[in-house]
Amino acid sequence: MSGTLRYVAYDGIWVNWSYGSVLGTTITLAQSQATLLIAFVAFFTTIIGTSLWRILCFALYHTFSTPTTPRDAMYHQQQAILRNAQSPLLGLKLFSNLVWAWRKDGQRTCVRIVPILAGALTLAIGLTVASGFSSAVARDNEILITSKDCNWTTSTFSAGKAIVQQSDLVYARDCYALPLLTASRSLGCNSYIRRTLPYSVNRTATCPFERRICKSQDRNIELDTGYLDSLEDLGWNGPPSQRLKYRTTLHCAPLVTDNYTDVYNTSTTKSYTRYFYGQDISVGNEFTYEASNDAYAERKADGSLAMADYTLTPVWAPYANGTVDSDIWGWVPIPQLDIPDSTLSLIVLQANSVLYEGPVSDLWYEATDPKSKIRYYLDNSTSTLYGANTPASPLACVSREQYCKVGSDTGTQCTQLTNFFDLQESAKKVFTDEKSWNTFQWYASNIFSAPAMLLDIVGTRELSLIARAWIQNGIERGITDDQWQGDVEYWFASILAALQRAPGDAARGTDADSRYSKWIPNSSNGFLLVSFQKALSPYHTSFSVFGLLFIFVFGMVSIILSLSLESLTNLVRSHRKLNQDTCLEWNLNETLQLQRLVHEEIGIGAWSSCTKTIPLIRGDARLGTLDISKPDHPRIVSDVSNGEDGGDTASSHDSEITPSGQEEATEPIPSRRTTRELDNTASASCNVNSDIQAE
């Protein structure tokens, strides 16, 4: 096991269920070992290519072979190339030269050579591509998380513990393509199985509540993840029978404040506006929220600009069986906001003493009330600054969740799209067996709870509002007409980032602070679920075991076949008593046998093993030398310094035919032996029939 930046990776063989039980067999290696394996696979692929080329050449050679029939020079050159070209690139070069050399005087040159040339070209390109793609067996840097201390703490998920929520907000800002933010696509975006989770956005959604309580009937926002797969999207590496799908939605709308507020005077100079969207039973208030009416007056009196900032206050009302348990949650919403099949959240924005450079028509940040003027020293001009129209601005959201069981005999079965608590009852009708129920409980109770995550994220003061980035000296300079929708989408993307993070954190285990409760899986199935969690690691590479085995098995078969084809062919022909002429021609066209034939023709040496791979001659024998007296027509001669006439031997070399068909006069080849002597020597030194029989 090796440590990574965030997780501990399992080094060894495991099954990646994204590819199935067979193709998904995977081995994970540290990066240094993986680099060596990739290099070896690429090298081995090149050897495989060479073997395939030799098999192709052997097949083509035997297809074209007519050893006992007189053929033209191009045929013999073609056969010699097929016999001796050891790689597709070399074969491509030699056959290209052959076509060019015989382009005028050859008989049907294109018909005879071009198909072979095309085959060599195809194989050469294929092998080049295969060598490049051989690294495809290195799938990615997916790892299986392993940990001896799988757990999570209350600080991981509870509101008020802002460190984790801040990391989710940062991830959403940097990695998700949000309308009001520029994604940096930093290296930190490669932490999870998927860089981002998919979702759809409707920015012209209807009001999710009683229509008169929404500021707009068609400028609201609705976000929907669709069905996220526990394996492909969230990284839980379970078999199909244990997979599930998860869906969450968020539908938000700014609320009107007329008829839902009341002014409460605390003194003759100070007052508050109270907002009545439901009772706060926890503190015994009939109102939901109150905000000071004196923020701008206090700022003017204080003269301080730097401290101006927004305040966000979230409250929620989770429903169960159609009602809110006020003894637990405290807030009971008014009937106009009552949607029992959802989890209701109310998010109140206070601009406090923030001023705006221009009038703002955004439904949530609405600021059209002139408050003061500002003078610019560069050109001595002045500009009107505007303040929020109301001390606080409410935004209400409804969240719903849904789970689906995948891989059951009856196909995909889903719970209702409803609130978190009613989801438990609906799930009992879907996750009927113990294993699937435990899986659902693990995710639903411990990992996923989008409504709760919304409260945590909104409660993170520093990063939860995009508009905060554009405040300078208490003056807001970057509000758009749909700023609130950008904020809600930012929160939703942060929820998705939390969904991506949470399973891996639980599998890794957290460094529990003694101030927070530490939770561990309460069943063996819970431990099993955590041990199946995938993540990404920049320090590891995972390889397909099936791909590696295929390459090595196929490669070894190709290599062994290419090395044994000659012996196998000879054995089959001998067993079936077939003609051996083609095999004999194949042997004689080998480079060393052609060398033997040249030297025998000029009367050098008593050769043996004339049909084997390596022809032999007496150890102290000296072969011919190169005669370059005519540089454009070099020859092999037995003794260049000896001017003795070769007799009958020279008579067969008086002239030669060039490719253009003209005769070129040549000098006799010097030799110490006559043709009769050469014939006798060849007959005595190379008895072909006896060699074949002996072999």
Domain ranges of the chain: 2-139+546-575, 150-249+401-519, 590-694
Per-residue pLDDT at 137 = 83
Angle at CA 510, nearest 5°, toward 505 and 515? Answer: 135
CA dihedral 572, 576, 580, 582 (to 10 degrees): -60
Q: Which residue in 398, 400, 433, 438 sits closest to 416, CA to CA? A: 400
Q: What is the distance in angstroms between the CA of the first residue and the CA of the last residue of the chain?
A: 56
Per-residue pLDDT at 607 = 87
Per-residue pLDDT at 301 = 52
Could you give the CA distance from residue 311 to residue 99 in angstroms, rounded to a whole number?
A: 82
The backbone region for 223, taken as left when phi is positive above 0, alpha when psi lies in -120 to 50, beta otherwise, is: beta
Answer for the pair 162, 25: CB distance below 8 angstroms, yes or no. no
Could you give the CA distance from residue 361 to residue 162 in angstroms, rounded to a whole number?
A: 31
Could you give the CA distance from residue 527 to residue 575 in angstroms, rounded to a whole number?
A: 64
Tokens of 131: 């060598």
Residue 99 CB neighbour total at 10 angstroms: 18
Residue type, 209: F
Residue type, 266: T
Per-residue pLDDT at 334 = 94
DSSP 445: I
User: Strand, coil or helix: what is 166?
Assistant: helix
Per-residue pLDDT at 183 = 64
Q: What b/e sequence results for 349-382 when a residue is b if at least 16 CB atoms lie within 10 Å of its CB, and e otherwise? A: bbbbbbbbbeebebbbbbbeeebeeeeeeeeeee
Structure-token match 């995972």, residue found = 542
Helix ranges, 219-342 (H): 295-302, 326-329
Which residues, given as ranges, of the chain have pLDDT below 50? 1-5, 151-160, 306, 512-519, 640-685, 687-695
Residue type, 347: I
Radius of gyration of the chain (CA): 42
Residue type, 294: D
Answer for the pair 608, 630: CB distance below 8 angstroms, yes or no. no
Could you give the CA distance from residue 688 to residue 609 in angstroms, rounded to a whole number?
A: 9
DSSP-derived pairing of the beta strands 381-387 and 518-519: unpaired
Residues 438-490 pLDDT 10s: 888 877 766 667 767 788 888 776 678 998 888 888 888 888 899 999 999 99
DSSP-derived pairing of the beta strands 475-476 and 355-356: parallel
Query: Which residues have a Cβ under 8 Å from the Cβ of 568 and sit 6 or more positions away?
Result: none
User: Strand, coil or helix: what is 450?
Assistant: helix
Residue 659 CB neighbour total at 10 angstroms: 13
Per-residue pLDDT at 106 = 81
The count of C-alpha atoms lying within 13 angstroms of the C-alpha of 587, restricted to the half-sphere facing its C-beta, is 20
